[in-house]
Structure 1
Amino acid sequence: MKIDFAPLQLPLHRRLQTAVVLFWVFSFLALAPICIFLFFFLLFTRYWLISVLYAVWWYIDYDTPSRGGRRVPFLCSLKMWNHMRDYFPIKLVKTADLDSRHNYVMGFHPHGVLVAGAFTNFCVYATGFRQLFPGLTTYMLMLPLWFRSPFFRDYVMCAGLIPSDKKSASYPLQLRRGGTAVVIAVGGAPEALNAHPGTFNVLLAKKKGFIKMAMEQGAHLVPVFSFGENEVFDQVENSRGTWLRWTQERLQGFMGISLPLFHARGIFQYSFGLMPYRKPIHTVVGRPIKVPRNPKPTLEELDALHQHYMDELSNLFEMHKTNYGVDVDVHLNFV
């Protein structure tokens, strides 16, 4: 295989972009297991007191992730995240105002492989969310598994990430009567297995938990579609019925996380590696769906709002798809 190496004389800003995205990919793929290893390794060295003191802190701080986490605005506003934004680049597109007197549940689609668009738009302050939607604070949901990793849990909380269980997701909506936006990558880990370039399969047809939570809390629903999210990585063919997909789904059911076999480019060459391609991502925030508070919605009410949400997401996709290189004959496929 011929390797396409990157030019030696690249501008500094391009190298900085690559460095920041490398750090982000490393954080997603390797930092949690490294933190777990470090925690136990230190116990058997002369630095054992670090792990012991952290264990005490962990016990005291155990409920913090389920109570809104601990965002650090200074870290979210670092200029390094601008380099990540410009690497792809990633742009946040506003289509309607979101009144800060209300709370919102924002459904993010599609998940993609590593949710690059969601992180850059809603966790860090690189794309201007606070300026486009003044008065709103976002909380991005993440698998609870990651909050069981020592050290790593504190790291992800800095970016406003909280566990995706119902109790944790509902807490910010209960805490304030307005100005809170909980962001949910609705398809979750299973949808990552469908993240192939050129596909628009959205795992939503049976996903109603976030709809019910919005009804119970009286939070307005906001569909969000991220054009280009599936384009930044290639994935080994894993269509349903193949042994690879069977294995991935079994592992996902056992561990709670999916293991897509993805690849793209490298750090110093463009032929292979785990760095994402430099392809644009446009995250379009749709208009809000008003949801009156209903502590005990009936099945019919839940189904009706779920269908309304799917219709609004489909309309959002249809309205904007040609702006971002999607063929007019391509439509969303709800699975």
Structure 2
Amino acid sequence: MADLLAVLASCKELLLELRAVFDKQILNVLWPLGKAPVLMERFLNFSVQSAMQYFSLKVICEDYDAIKPDQTYVVGLEPHSALPTALPMMFNKYCQALPKALQDIKVLATSTVFYLPATRHPWYWLGIRSIDRDTFHSLLAAQNSVVLVPGGVSECMLMRKGQEVMYLTKRTGFVRIALNHGAHLLPCFAFGQSDTYSWLRPGPPFIPNMVVETVRKWLGFVPLIMWGRWGTTIPHKVSFLVAVPMLVVFGKPIQLPKMEHPSKEEIQKYLQLYINAMQALCQKHKDCAGYGGTTFKVV
């Protein structure tokens, strides 16, 4: 097993080096990213409006006035679910349900989407960017608010029916970067997102968790088998005519000072404030969202 993990680690390093060369020297030359054509702008707008209608999207913001246009925010959206469908649907300039102060927000997501022909350009035009440290810093430095799922794909390893598990206690990186730029944290939860797709996750007794976790780190995502309505990629409906409704709730902003070199204690302090706010958000709105019987857990 140790030899296998060592081989996988070596392969991952080689893959990252090759991907960096491919991205900088080939992909951006042959397939550059730029402004969306007018027809594509219309198509993206139509797609977003259709998705909002399909999911009967509703948004609750506990304090609209507290989300100010002259302030930069790091929106921490939970959960990741099998697929975080709320991210491309809501966090873009076409979604009128988004608080106006966040209209120019950028989504931070796995770089894998930029290597797939079907998603590279549409995702970029929607405002999705690679979730790497340099991009994170550069966006906040340019006064762009960002949204990400702090728990990331690791939450796919923790998914359980009847539970929403948020992997947050060790996620200090997004808090550290927010402190570096004085960006405020904004807790956000998407009720209903976890029910949009069914899933099957590889693991014991056939595949050891260690192997699955290593593959996840290597690929950047968990190799789930997912399906929606009729076994297709169409998200589930609760009835023939009604899709799984989605309720996205924004909590109150958590004010952070600007600190170039925050201590571990300071980072942990603001991470705990975010965790507390997220837990309170879930408990306050779970009944009106139809998830009163769901257990919400932070690990």
TM-score w.r.t. length of structure 1: 0.71
Code of the aligned partner of 1:173? L
Partner of residue 282, structure 1? 247
Asked whether 1:167 is paired with 2:127, we answer no
The match for 1:138 among 105, 122, 129 is 105
- Residue 155 of structure 1 is matched in structure 2 by 122
- Of 205, 215, 224 in structure 2, the residue corresponding to residue 260 of structure 1 is 224
1:216 Cα deviation (Å)?
Answer: 0.5
- Secondary structure in 2 matching 1:302: helix
Partner of 1:24: none
Q: Is the 8 A contact 1:75 1:158 kept in 2?
A: no
Q: What amino acid does structure 2 have at the position aligned with 1:243? A: F
For residues 95-142 of structure 1, give each alpha carbon's deviation from its aligned partner in whole angstroms, at most 9, with x where no partner exists. Answer: 11201111000001001122111221103523521xx32464110011
Which residue number in structure 1 is paired with residue 52 of structure 2?
85
The answer to whether structure 1 residue 209 and structure 2 residue 179 are counterparts is no
| Partners of 1:142 and 1:75 in 2: CA distance | 23
Q: How does 1:1-335 map to 2 (within 5 A)?
A: 58-59=28-29, 74-75=41-42, 78-97=45-64, 98-123=67-92, 125-129=94-98, 132-134=99-101, 136-149=103-116, 152-176=119-143, 180-236=144-200, 241-244=204-207, 246=209, 247-266=211-230, 272-277=231-236, 278-327=243-292, 330-335=294-299
User: In 1, distance between residues paired with 2:227 and 2:27?
Assistant: 38
Q: Please list every run of 5 or more consecutive structure 2 residues that lacks an aligned counterpart in the other structure.
A: 1-24, 237-242
2:184 and 2:37 map into 1 onto residues whose CA distance is 26
Between the aligned partners of 1:173 and 1:221, the Cα distance in structure 2 is 12
Secondary structure of the corresponding residue to residue 194 of structure 2: coil
For the residues of structure 2 that align with 1:72 and 1:296, how far apart are their CA atoms?
42
State the shift of 1:149 in Å. 4.8
3-state DSSP class of the match of 1:112?
coil
Q: From the CA coordinates, give the structure whose radius of gyration is larger.
A: 1
Change (3 A) 1:149 1:79: closer
Cα distance, 1:146 vs structure 2: 2.9
SS of residue paired to 2:145: strand
The answer on whether the counterparts of 2:73 and 2:145 sit within 8 Å (CA) in structure 1 is yes
Cα deviation, residue 249, structure 1? 2.2
- Distance in 2 separating the partners of 1:166 and 1:70: 24
Pairwise CA RMSD? 2.8
Percent identity reads 22
Q: Distance in 2 between matches of 1:61 and 1:292?
A: 40
Partners of 1:196 and 1:127 lie apart in 2 by 32
SS of residue in 2 equivalent to 1:230:
helix
User: Structure 2 counterpart of 1:232, which letter?
Assistant: T
Which sits farther off after the overlay, 205-214 or 145-154?
Answer: 145-154
Whole-Å separation in 2 of the counterparts to 1:143 and 1:317: 26
1:269-312 residue CA offsets vs partner (Å, 9 max, x unmatched): xxx33321120111101110000100100011011111111001
